[in-house]
Amino acid sequence: MAFSPLVDELVESLRCLPGVGQKTAQRMAFHLLERGRPGGVRLSEALGTAMADVRRCDSCQNFADSSRCGICENPERHNGTLCVVESPSDLLAIEQAGDYRGSYFVLMGHLSPIDGVGPEEIGIERLLNRIAQENVTELILATNPTVEGEATAHYIADRLDGRGVLITRLAHGIPVGGELGYVDGFTLTHAFRGRKPLSE
């Protein structure tokens, strides 16, 4: 059964969100129309403003309202350490942990030749230029531990070979509170390869 064209368009528009199928989009649309019209208006205004005004930071490629994001504008964050992540959500996760105080570079993806995503599409040249200009002493490769993430990390490391930059990789392995019986073989392999003395 079809609803009015406006309702159908609202449902179809909501389906662009990840993980939102037809039924979920219908529930969202009906909730907004039945009980959430003020929230719907606020949502539409926020979406319109964000789509028009949010851009990439000229320095790190993270989402920003102006030419440079707040992290890149903060002089205390420029301490010679640069962390490379795949997405703004990865950056947010690191920031919420609260321990890292350096700067970032957001790739907005990873190398994936089968999908037509090469070094140009994720800004590798911009990253290399920034490393040279800002006198980066340590580059932390915080790409995801997937095949594509590992390939991206190795590609960046190869491009920096001989430049005198310390290249580190986030540790992979068994999560705190995890039990060995529930850990997959890939994670266990990384944990064994990354083992270190107990005294450290």
Check residue 172 and give its pLDDT.
79
Domain 66-169 fold: Dna Topoisomerase Vi A Subunit; Chain: A, domain 2 (3.40.1360)
Q: Is the pLDDT score of 1 beyond 80?
A: no
For the ranges 19-23, 110-114, 160-164, 192-196, which has the lowest average pLDDT? 192-196
Using CA atoms, how far apart are residues 172 and 191, in angstroms rounded to an integer? 6
User: In this structure, are residues 190 and 145 in contact, taking their beta carbons and an 8 Å threshold?
Assistant: yes
Check residue 162 and give its pLDDT.
84
Check residue 87 and give its pLDDT.
95
- Name the percent of the chain lying above pLDDT 90: 72
pLDDT by residue (tens digit) across 48-104?
Answer: 999 999 999 999 999 999 999 999 999 999 889 999 999 999 999 999 998 999 999
Using CA atoms, how far apart are residues 150 and 76, in angstroms rounded to an integer? 30
Count CB atoms within 10 A of the CB of residue 97.
Answer: 8
pLDDT by residue (tens digit) across 115-156?
Answer: 999 999 999 999 999 999 988 999 999 999 888 999 999 999
Q: Where are the domains of the chain?
A: 5-53, 66-169
pTM above 0.85, yes or no: no
Residue type (1 letter), 190: H
Check residue 163 and give its pLDDT.
87
Mean per-residue pLDDT of the chain: 90
User: In this structure, are residues 79 and 102 in contact, taking their beta carbons and an 8 Å threshold?
Assistant: yes
Check residue 46 and give its pLDDT.
96
Check residue 3 and give its pLDDT.
74
Check residue 85 and give its pLDDT.
97
Ordered DSSP codes for 143-182 = --SSHHHHHHHHHHHHHTTTS--EEEE---SPPTT--GGG
Check residue 2 and give its pLDDT.
66
pLDDT by residue (tens digit) across 162-180?
Answer: 888 999 998 877 778 878 7
Check residue 11 and give its pLDDT.
94
DSSP3 helix / strand / coil % (the chain, rounded to 5): 50, 10, 40
Domain 5-53 fold: Helicase, Ruva Protein; domain 3 (1.10.8)
